[in-house]
A = this chain, B = another copy of it.
Amino acid sequence: MQLGRVVGCVWSSVKNLGLTGQRLLIVQPVKADLSLTGRAIICTDCTGAGSGELIYWVRGKEASFPFTDAEVPSDATIVGIVDELNLGKPRTEEHL
């Protein structure tokens, strides 16, 4: 899964039926140190995340798992809201 931050949403009246009723949130990917990285994408959501929240999303076929019955044509779904990132001390790279 990837870390990201909810930065907006998309209004879209003309869309595939499978997306009806789905929230379409704009998510900006972030690194573990919360700096921005890569381009914003559009995610469906199954957590109720709000604007500005730190979340993680899943890509590909798994993105439709949370909507198991309906065939939601989504390749990116927010599956969790981050309470806390727990990072160990940065390591030297050499040893196995």
Contact = CB atoms under 8 A, between A and B. Distances in A.
A85 to B, nearest CB: 6
Nearest to A15: B80
A26 B93 CA distance: 16
Contacts of A31: 39-40
Contacts of A40: 3, 31-32
A85 B65 CA distance: 26
A72 to B, nearest CB: 8
Contact of A85 (B8, B43, B56): B8
Contacts of A84: 10-11, 96
Given A11-B84, A18-B66, A58-B73, 9 more contacts: A8-B87, A12-B81, A13-B83, A16-B79, A18-B65, A28-B32, A35-B93, A37-B39, A60-B62
The 5 closest A-B pairs by CB, nearest first: A15-B80, A8-B87, A1-B42, A65-B73, A32-B40
